[in-house]
Structure 1
Amino acid sequence: MRTARLIEEGRSFYHVVSRVVDRRMVFEAKDKEVFRNIMRNLEAFMGVRVVTYCLMSNHFHLLLEVPDRDELPELTEEELLAVLPRLHDGSAVLTVKQELERARKSGDERWHREILDRYEYRRGSLSFFLKELKQRVTLYMNKRLGRTGTLWEGRFKSVLVEGNQNALLTIAAYIDLNPVRAGIVNRPEEYRWCGYAESLSGTRNAKLAREGLGVALAESLADGDFKASWPRTRSRYRQFLFEEGEEREENAELGQRSRRGFSQEKIEAVTEKRGEMTVPEVLRDRVRYFCDGVVLGSAEFVDDVFARGKEKGLYGEKRTTGARKMRGAEWGSLRVLRDLQVNVIGSG
Structure 2
Amino acid sequence: MRTGRLKLSGVAASYHCMTRTVNGEHLFKNREKEVLRKMIWQVADFCGVEVLTYCIMSNHFHVLLRVDDRQQVSDAELLRRYQVLYPKPTKYQTASVILMRKTLLSGGEDADVIRRQLRARMGDVSQFMKALKQRFSVWYNRSHRRYGTLWAERFKSVLVEGKGNPLQTMAAYIDLNPVRAGLVEDPKDYRFCGYAEAVAGVAEAESGLLRIWSDHAAKQIDAALQAHRMLIFGKHAARAGVSDISRERALKVLEQEEGVLPKAAVLRCRVRYFSDGAILGSAEFVRGFSKTWQAERRRKYPPKVNAMKGADWGDLSVIQGLRRQVFS
Asked if the contact 2:164/2:215 (under 8 Å) is kept, the reply is no
Most deviating of 320-329 and 142-151: 320-329
Q: 1:15 and 1:60 mapped to 2: Cα distance?
A: 11
Q: Offset of 1:36 from its aligned partner?
A: 1.1
Structure-to-structure mapping, 1:199-278, within 5 angstroms: 199-202=198-201, 206-218=202-214, 229-243=220-234, 245-247=242-244, 261-263=247-249, 267=253, 275-278=259-262
Q: Offset of 1:165 from its aligned partner?
A: 1.1
Q: Match of 1:125, as an amino acid?
A: D
Q: 1:315 and 1:180 mapped to 2: Cα distance?
A: 39
Partner SS state of residue 40, structure 2: helix
Most deviating of 92-101 and 233-242: 92-101
Q: Offset of 1:54 from its aligned partner?
A: 0.2
Most deviating of 18-27 and 228-237: 228-237
Structure 1: gaps spanning 5 or more residues:
249-259
Alignment deviations for residues 96-133 of structure 1 (CA, whole Å, 9 cap, x no partner): 3332354367x443333332332121110111100000
Q: What TM-score, normalized to structure 1?
A: 0.84
Q: 1:141 and 1:48 mapped to 2: Cα distance?
A: 24
Counterpart in the other structure of 1:129: 128
Q: Match of 1:86, as an amino acid?
A: V
Q: Offset of 1:50 from its aligned partner?
A: 0.8
Q: Match of 1:7, as an amino acid?
A: K
Picking from 296, 307, 327, the partner of 1:325 is 307
Q: Is 1:58 matched up with 2:59?
A: yes
Counterpart in the other structure of 1:49: 50
Q: Is 1:103 matched up with 2:98?
A: no
Counterpart in the other structure of 1:120: 119
Identify if the C-alpha distance between structure 1 residues 135 and 297 changes in structure 2 by more than 3 Å, giving closer, same or farther: same
Q: 2:133 and 2:309 mapped to 1: Cα distance?
A: 33
Q: How many pairs align?
A: 318
Q: Offset of 1:266 from its aligned partner?
A: 8.5
Structure-to-structure mapping, 1:1-348, within 5 angstroms: 2=2, 5-9=5-9, 10-67=11-68, 69-70=69-70, 72-76=71-75, 78-88=76-86, 89-103=89-103, 107-202=106-201, 206-218=202-214, 229-243=220-234, 245-247=242-244, 261-263=247-249, 267=253, 275-310=259-294, 312=295, 314-317=297-300, 319-346=301-328
Q: 1:165 and 1:239 mapped to 2: Cα distance?
A: 14
Q: 1:267 and 1:187 mapped to 2: Cα distance?
A: 23
Identify if the C-alpha distance between structure 1 residues 187 and 4 changes in structure 2 by more than 3 Å, giving closer, same or farther: closer
Asked if the contact 1:307/1:322 (under 8 Å) is kept, the reply is no
Identify if the C-alpha distance between structure 1 residues 321 and 22 changes in structure 2 by more than 3 Å, giving closer, same or farther: closer
Alignment deviations for residues 39-72 of structure 1 (CA, whole Å, 9 cap, x no partner): 11111111111100000011001111111x22x1
Q: CA RMSD in A?
A: 2.6
Q: 1:321 and 1:341 mapped to 2: Cα distance?
A: 14
Q: 2:97 and 2:278 mapped to 1: Cα distance?
A: 42
Asked if the contact 1:12/1:160 (under 8 Å) is kept, the reply is yes
Partner SS state of residue 314, structure 2: coil
Asked if the contact 1:211/1:220 (under 8 Å) is kept, the reply is no
Asked if the contact 1:188/1:196 (under 8 Å) is kept, the reply is yes
Alignment deviations for residues 325-348 of structure 1 (CA, whole Å, 9 cap, x no partner): 2222222211101111322012xx
Structure 2: gaps spanning 5 or more residues:
236-241
Partner SS state of residue 66, structure 2: strand
Q: Match of 2:326, as an amino acid?
A: V
Q: What TM-score, normalized to structure 2?
A: 0.88
Q: Match of 1:242, as an amino acid?
A: F
Identify if the C-alpha distance between structure 1 residues 116 and 91 changes in structure 2 by more than 3 Å, giving closer, same or farther: farther
Q: 1:92 and 1:29 mapped to 2: Cα distance?
A: 31
Q: 2:211 and 2:17 mapped to 1: Cα distance?
A: 17
Q: Offset of 1:92 from its aligned partner?
A: 4.0
